[in-house]
Amino acid sequence: MPPGLAGVAGARYDSPMPMTYRIDLANCVVWTRAWGELTDEELVAHARHLRADPRFAPNFRQFFSAEASTGGAAGVSREGLRQAAQLNPFGEGARRAVVADNDVAVGLARMYEMMRGDAADVMMGFRDRAAALEWLGLPATWEPPPAAPSDPILDSSHP
């Protein structure tokens, strides 16, 4: 089971690449966690969910953890990345850090970044969590809010 997701209702840990997110309102941060193998459906669903979440504001920062991804990306297409980039809910002043520990996830983050074109937000890929937190202006001790049953689980393999 991925760290930090114990007790999240509806979570499945054997599917391609489920994602979840939590919003830290006190620090204006979206914490996104992905694990397993990535698909277009999860990327697009994440953007749509954030746009619809009344707690979200486009100027929030994002800490996107892909550290538990297996590095597989067979389910990601150029079209899926383009759709996710077009749906980008982040706006002016938002900083987004993607932390990954494998070459495939880092490469996908860079491709997504390029497809965003003239997006108003700033996105950077990192291999080091501490460097990402520092770039976001968060303390090294920052942790996402505790898991809650209402946390969305975006999982295309289990409709």
**What is the CATH classification number for the domain harbouring 93?**
3.30.750
Count: domains in the chain: 1
Q: What is the extent of the structural domain holding 27? A: 19-154
Q: Is residue 12 part of a domain?
A: no
Residue 159 has pLDDT above 50, yes or no: no
For 75, which DSSP code?
B
Q: Which of the two residues, 36 and 57, has the higher pLDDT score? A: 57
Q: Is residue 25 part of a domain?
A: yes
Going by pLDDT thresholds of 50, 70 and 90, the confidence category of residue 43 is confident
- CB-based burial, 92-117: b 16+ in 10 Å, e otherwise: eebbbbbbbbbebbbebbeebbebbe
Q: Is residue 128 part of a domain?
A: yes
pTM across the whole model: 0.81
Average pLDDT value for residue range 23-51: 89
